[in-house]
């Protein structure tokens, strides 16, 4: 069994980005890319993600800002913050960390972000351009998965990819990216969700199983074909008094069982998560270099 170590790969890619920032920007007197994040509330997973983003920015020579708001913020006030970042010439790209409190419609917020600064790749313009295989900021987590498969030389052409979860953030875009022409790509993709019948029968056909259901330990060994490649997108914090910090992270896949049956698997933590942050950095660098003309 091969461990698809996203943490190790992300370190390598960050070093590549840092070298490019230094030689092609800073050494030529060009400002470093600036990535901002909007964080609403106290969700532990969101706070951890934004903290890791700040650390990654420092490592590659980016500037980083975080705008923090209480979870009772109104939608109108949050939209004001988005408009401010849209107009700030110092900001190359920014994200609004999801999930948002129930009083805020995330679609209203995402649609308010200027597509040229939408480094999360969630805006309908970026999603539409991605679907048509046009230059776009690809959604960070799906792009991170594609990069992981590419750098670890996991063949996707002609393979049956099964995706569990149809969110606009992960499931739907990764199904599009892996089914379109390209490398990685050219796969036959089945997209499953909570209404899928006989899901186990489908997962057992998967050469590559991508799990983004948002349910801890959802996939067990009896749901996985021998020698399949398993990508676990889940991230769940649970209390563990024996741990140094009093808690641990687990994914959507029961790792100890499934890892004994598959040919390759991502760990949690240290798999898809670091690759998501790397994708944000890559999109921000593209924005700073004006690689995509809008």
The residues annotated with a catalytic role in the active site are 53, 97, 120
**63-69: strand order across its sheet:** 63-69, 34-40, 93-96
- Please state, in angstroms and rounded to a whole number, the distance separating the CA atoms of residues 72 and 211: 32
DSSP string spanning 218-250? -B-GGGS-TT-EEEE---EEEE-TTSTTSEEEE
Whether the Cβ atoms of residue 212 and residue 233 lie closer than 8 Å to each other = yes
**Rounded Cα–Cα distance for residues 91 and 122 (Å):** 18
Measuring CA to CA, which residue among 278, 294, 259 is closest to residue 113? Answer: 294
- DSSP, collapsed to helix, strand or coil, labels residue 140 as helix
C-alpha to C-alpha distance for 230 and 262, rounded to whole angstroms: 7
Q: Which two tokens mark 24?
A: 């092609």
Q: CA quadruple 117, 123, 128, 133: dihedral positive or negative?
A: positive
């Amino acid at each position: 069994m091969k461990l698809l170590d996203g943490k190790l790969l992300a370190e390598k890619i960050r070093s590549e980005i840092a070298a490019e920032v230094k030689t092609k920007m800073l050494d030529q007197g060009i400002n470093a890319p600036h990535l901002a994040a909007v964080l609403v509330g106290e969700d532990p997973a969101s706070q951890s993600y934004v903290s890791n983003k700040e650390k990654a920015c420092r490592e590659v020579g980016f500037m980083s800002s975080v705008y923090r708001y209480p979870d009772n913020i109104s939608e109108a006030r949050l939209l004001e913050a988005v408009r401010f970042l849209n107009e700030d010439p110092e900001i190359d790209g920014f994200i609004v960390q999801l999930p948002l409190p129930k009083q805020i419609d995330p679609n209203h917020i995402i649609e308010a972000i200027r597509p040229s600064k939408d480094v999360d790749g969630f805006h309908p313009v970026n999603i539409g351009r991605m679907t048509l295989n046009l230059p776009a900021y690809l959604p960070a987590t799906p792009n991170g998965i594609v990069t992981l498969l590419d750098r670890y030389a996991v063949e996707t052409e002609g393979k049956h990819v099964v995706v569990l979860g149809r969110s606009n953030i992960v499931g739907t875009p990764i199904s599009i990216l892996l089914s379109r022409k390209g490398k990685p790509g050219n796969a036959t993709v089945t997209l499953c969700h909570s209404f899928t019948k006989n899901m186990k029968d489908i997962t057992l056909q998967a050469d590559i199983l991508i799990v983004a259901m948002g349910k801890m330990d959802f996939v067990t060994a009896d749901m996985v074909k021998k020698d399949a490649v398993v990508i676990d997108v889940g991230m769940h914090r649970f209390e563990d008094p024996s741990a140094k910090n009093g808690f641990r992270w687990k994914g959507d896949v029961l790792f100890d069982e499934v890892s004994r049956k598959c040919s390759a698997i991502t760990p949690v933590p240290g798999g898809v998560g670091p690759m998501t942050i790397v994708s944000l950095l890559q999109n921000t660098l593209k924005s700073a270099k004006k690689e995509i003309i809008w």
